[in-house]
Amino acid sequence: MFSLKGKTAIITGANTGLGQAMCVALSKAGANIVGVARREMDDTEKLVKQNGTEFYPVIADLGTTEPIERIIKDAVNRFGRIDILVNNAGIIRREDAIDYSENDWDDVVNINLKTLYFLSQAAAKQFVKQKSGGKIINIASMLSYQGGIRVPAYTASKHAVMGATKAMANEWAKYNINVNAIAPGYMATNNTEQLRNDTKRYNEILERIPAGRWGEPSDIGGTVVFLASSAADYIHGFTIAVDGGWLSR
């Protein structure tokens, strides 16, 4: 029920952090991986191949929608089909809301939301052509539920990721396409480096996590495999929090 043997998964932001951990988890379940990033993904490739599946890197800057067609085409050329898309690439820019710049707003919203949507649309068109459904998994955030501090564009984009997930799920369920999301809690990656370097904020966050620890990238692996597998065939438009209990407080 959880096997992904023979499936092809595209994961964006595959070079590091949660994206790399999800490549590893999906390959461990049997999937071949198409990694998308703007830099080399040698470490991820090595980890995936250790699990006995294939890794195909596609270098692309997801700050615009320009590379989308090429990503789908290259993946299909390499593996013959695609079955899973994980929209993980995302950025955060911190600044007081009163001073937040239009440039930062556009950069954050373009990658976190616009590219996520249009890459999903392109994958969905390929799934429809293949006539055997597909899985789209979007990476949301605790700031899909809460406002945050000094990250207004990130919060707006991640609330929208949850909304777009539901909207896509509603229209594409009839094609056996499942669109769901994962909302990670506070995980130790580049994304949270600034927060973790601020000892006061680090400890404040830690004290609020019922699990008593920050998350590790590998904590998200089981959930992405579950949502990518046939075990989740009847789950549509839902966001699963992997947050050590943060939202329950």
Residues that bind ligand NAP (CB under 6 A): 13, 15-19, 37-39, 61-63, 88-91, 111, 139, 141, 184, 186-187, 189-192
Q: How far is the CB of 202 from ligand NAP (least distance, A)?
A: 12
Give the three-class secondary structure for 68: helix
Q: How far is the CB of 130 from ligand NAP (least distance, A)?
A: 25
Residue 181 sits at the vertex; the CA angle it makes with 179 and 184, to the nearest 5 degrees, is 170
Quickly count: other Cβ atoms within 10 Å of residue 67's Cβ: 19
Cβ proximity to ligand NAP: between 109 and 173 the closer is 109
Pair type for strands 177-184 and 8-12: unpaired
Cβ proximity to ligand NAP: between 39 and 129 the closer is 39
Tokens of 35: 């990694």
Cβ proximity to ligand NAP: between 109 and 128 the closer is 109
Task: Report whether 99 contacts 49 (CB < 8 A).
Answer: no
Interatomic CA distance for residues 157 and 139, integer angstroms: 11
Tokens of 43: 């470490």
Tokens of 66: 């320009």
Is 175 part of the annotated catalytic residue set? no
Helix (H) or strand (E) holding 212: none
CA atoms 178, 81, 157, 191: torsion sign: positive
Helices (H) then strands (E): counts for the chain = 9, 7
Cβ proximity to ligand NAP: between 53 and 87 the closer is 87
Q: How far is the CB of 112 from ligand NAP (least distance, A)?
A: 6
Task: Report whether 154 contacts 221 (CB < 8 A).
Answer: no
- Which is catalytic among the residues 56, 117, 145, 154? 154
Interatomic CA distance for residues 118 and 31, integer angstroms: 23
Cβ proximity to ligand NAP: between 15 and 223 the closer is 15
Q: Active-site positions?
A: 154
